[in-house]
């Protein structure tokens, strides 16, 4: 890409200069108002500084030109020129990262960036995706359709998620399944879904323990699920109760542990969990988030609960939002991966195994945008 700076008295004059020198296909990358001349900051003249670029596609060579002469020693060949061009464009994009996206990328890439921004993806992750798109854009000039760009976005997002462990609960490997999380994320309903599947699909004998003694309704809700599954339920107020409950449920294949959803900003909450529940080698611990939450709150919640031995995440309420960037950010921030996504209140049906492909589809959609 050929990039040049123009300074003119007005935008109209700048546009004339750009068309004259770079042609009508030139793209404005950046513009700002500057002041030149004057004395000690006085009587300076207002000017417009415009950064413009052009990316002309090379014309096909005539037969007589097919045998091109070799480059003089010390100059780069085509690959070197392409690499230099990519470095120049990437440097320009990073330099102007705070500017409006419309001044940075060709329209199909601009649409991709807009989609990720609207979804709430963090800037640091958007930059990673856009770096890859720029490389593809300048390396593959023959396939730059909006549909192709949408495919590039999906590949980039999927590759970022693939190293994470998207695995369901390991039924039967660990006896105690503990769900943690703030209030209102659907821990009790999700616990019932997991227990229901263990009974109906795997023939397991299950039991319940709840430490959520702060809400009578929570105990009643879990009692209802326990009755339907013909599973015993133990209510625990402190560590001695928890140890006694484990002894009484010794013949169960799986024991699902519900916890109170109190204010996560209070550090005493996590301390009480540590004092009540035995997080040992027989315990698998899931931190539950609602997809409707704000990313800043998710980060704060994760920071608070990361003191505990977390296994994976569970994301609930995917049916209650159209924005999934916060979930994407959370997974990459925590590096924990996810076990399940839930998308409704029906027990045990509205729960699916989490995967990178499912999240890519939610985040990016069918495209193009």
Sign of the torsion angle spanned by Cα atoms 173, 289, 258, 196 = negative
Whether residue 69 is contained in a domain is answered as: no
Long-range contact list for 3-7, CB < 8 A, 24+ apart? 3/29, 3/51, 3/52, 3/53, 3/88, 3/92, 4/51, 4/52, 4/53, 5/49, 5/50, 5/51, 6/49, 6/50, 6/51, 6/52, 7/34, 7/36, 7/47, 7/48, 7/49, 7/50
115: left (phi over 0), alpha (psi -120 to 50) or beta: alpha
Whether residue 122 is contained in a domain is answered as: yes
Confidence of residue 61 (pLDDT cuts 50, 70, 90): very low
Whether residue 98 is contained in a domain is answered as: no
Which pLDDT tens digit goes with each residue over 36-53? 765 555 556 788 888 777
In this structure, the answer to whether residues 312 and 226 fall within a common structural domain is yes
| Tokens found for residue 191 | 């616990």
Q: Is the pLDDT of residue 75 over 70?
A: no
- Find which of 27-31, 183-187, 262-266 is predicted with most confidence, using mean pLDDT: 183-187
Whether residue 89 is contained in a domain is answered as: no
Cα angle 316-318-324, degrees, rounded to a multiple of 5: 110
CATH number for position 150: 1.20.120
In this structure, the answer to whether residues 247 and 303 fall within a common structural domain is yes
pLDDT computed for residue 138 by the predictor: 79
In this structure, the answer to whether residues 221 and 274 fall within a common structural domain is yes
In this structure, the answer to whether residues 186 and 310 fall within a common structural domain is yes
How far is residue 348's CA from residue 189's CA, in Å, rounded to a whole number? 9
Whether residue 347 is contained in a domain is answered as: yes
Q: Is the pLDDT of residue 157 over 70?
A: yes
Helix/strand/coil for 312? strand
In this structure, the answer to whether residues 196 and 301 fall within a common structural domain is yes
SS (H, E, C) 140-209: CCCCCCHHHHHHHHHHHHHHHHCCCCCCCCCCCCCCEEEEECCCCCCHHHHHHHHHHHHHHHHCCCEEEE
| Tokens found for residue 118 | 């609207």
Which pLDDT tens digit goes with each residue over 328-342? 999 999 998 999 999
In this structure, the answer to whether residues 208 and 343 fall within a common structural domain is yes
pLDDT computed for residue 231 by the predictor: 96
What pTM value is reported for the model?
A: 0.71
Q: Is the pLDDT of residue 63 over 50?
A: no
How far is residue 220's CA from residue 218's CA, in Å, rounded to a whole number? 5
Work out how many domains the chain is built from and give that number: 3
Closest residue by Cα to residue 361 from 335, 348, 343, 345: 343
Q: Is the pLDDT of residue 159 over 90?
A: yes
Confidence of residue 121 (pLDDT cuts 50, 70, 90): very high
In this structure, the answer to whether residues 254 and 294 fall within a common structural domain is yes
In this structure, the answer to whether residues 236 and 272 fall within a common structural domain is yes
CATH number for position 238: 3.40.50.300
In this structure, the answer to whether residues 149 and 265 fall within a common structural domain is no
In this structure, the answer to whether residues 159 and 192 fall within a common structural domain is no
Whether residue 345 is contained in a domain is answered as: yes
Beta bridge partners, 8, equal 48
Whether residue 337 is contained in a domain is answered as: yes
Closest residue by Cα to residue 76 from 86, 64, 89: 86
How far is residue 207's CA from residue 171's CA, in Å, rounded to a whole number? 14
> Residue 200: is it exposed, middle or buried by C-beta count within 10 angstroms (0-12/13-18/19+)?
exposed
Which pLDDT tens digit goes with each residue over 192-202? 999 999 999 99
| Between residues 300 and 90, the one the model is more confident about | 300
In this structure, the answer to whether residues 191 and 217 fall within a common structural domain is yes
pLDDT computed for residue 139 by the predictor: 78
Q: How far is CA 134 from the centre of its chain?
A: 20
| Between residues 367 and 103, the one the model is more confident about | 367
Whether residue 67 is contained in a domain is answered as: no
Average pLDDT, the chain: 82
The range of the structural domain enclosing residue 157 comes to 105-166+356-369
In this structure, the answer to whether residues 298 and 336 fall within a common structural domain is yes
What are phi and psi for residue 354, nearest 5 degrees?
A: -70, 145
| Tokens found for residue 342 | 């839930």
Confidence of residue 232 (pLDDT cuts 50, 70, 90): very high
On whether the CB atoms of residues 347 and 322 are closer than 8 A, the answer is no
């Amino acid at each position: 890409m050929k990039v040049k700076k123009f300074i003119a008295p007005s935008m109209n004059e700048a546009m004339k200069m750009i068309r004259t020198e770079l042609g009508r296909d030139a793209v404005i990358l950046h513009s700002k108002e500057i002041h030149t001349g004057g004395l000690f900051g006085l009587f300076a003249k207002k000017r417009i500084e415009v950064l413009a670029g052009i990316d002309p596609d090379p014309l096909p060579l005539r037969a007589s030109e097919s045998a091109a002469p070799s480059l003089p020693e010390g100059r780069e060949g085509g690959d070197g020129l392409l690499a230099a061009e990519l470095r120049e464009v990437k440097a320009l994009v990073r330099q102007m990262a705070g500017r409006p996206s419309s001044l940075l990328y060709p329209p199909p890439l601009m649409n991709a960036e807009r989609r990720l921004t609207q979804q709430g993806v963090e800037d640091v992750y958007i930059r990673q995706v856009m770096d890859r798109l720029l490389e593809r854009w300048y390396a593959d000039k023959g396939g730059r359709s909006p549909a192709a760009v949408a495919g590039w976005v999906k590949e980039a997002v999927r590759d970022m998620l693939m190293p994470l462990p998207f695995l369901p609960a390991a039924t039967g490997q660990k006896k105690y399944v503990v769900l943690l999380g703030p209030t209102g994320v659907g821990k009790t309903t999700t616990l019932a879904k997991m227990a229901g599947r263990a009974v109906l699909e795997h023939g397991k004998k299950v039991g319940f323990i709840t430490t959520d003694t702060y809400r009578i309704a929570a105990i009643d809700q879990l009692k209802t699920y326990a009755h339907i599954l013909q599973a015993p339920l133990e209510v625990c107020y402190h560590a001695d109760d928890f140890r006694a409950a484990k002894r009484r449920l010794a013949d169960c294949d799986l024991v699902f542990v519900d916890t109170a959803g109190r204010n996560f900003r209070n550090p005493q909450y996590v301390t009480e969990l540590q004092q009540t529940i035995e997080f040992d080698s027989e315990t698998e611990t899931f931190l539950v988030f609602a997809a409707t939450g704000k990313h800043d709150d998710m980060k704060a919640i994760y920071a608070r609960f990361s003191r505990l031995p977390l296994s994976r995440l569970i994301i609930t309420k995917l049916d209650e939002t159209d924005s999934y960037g916060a979930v994407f950010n959370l997974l990459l921030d925590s590096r924990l991966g996810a076990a399940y996504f839930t998308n409704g209140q029906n027990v045990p049906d509205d729960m699916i195994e989490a995967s990178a492909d499912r999240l890519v589809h939610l985040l990016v959609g069918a495209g193009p945008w």
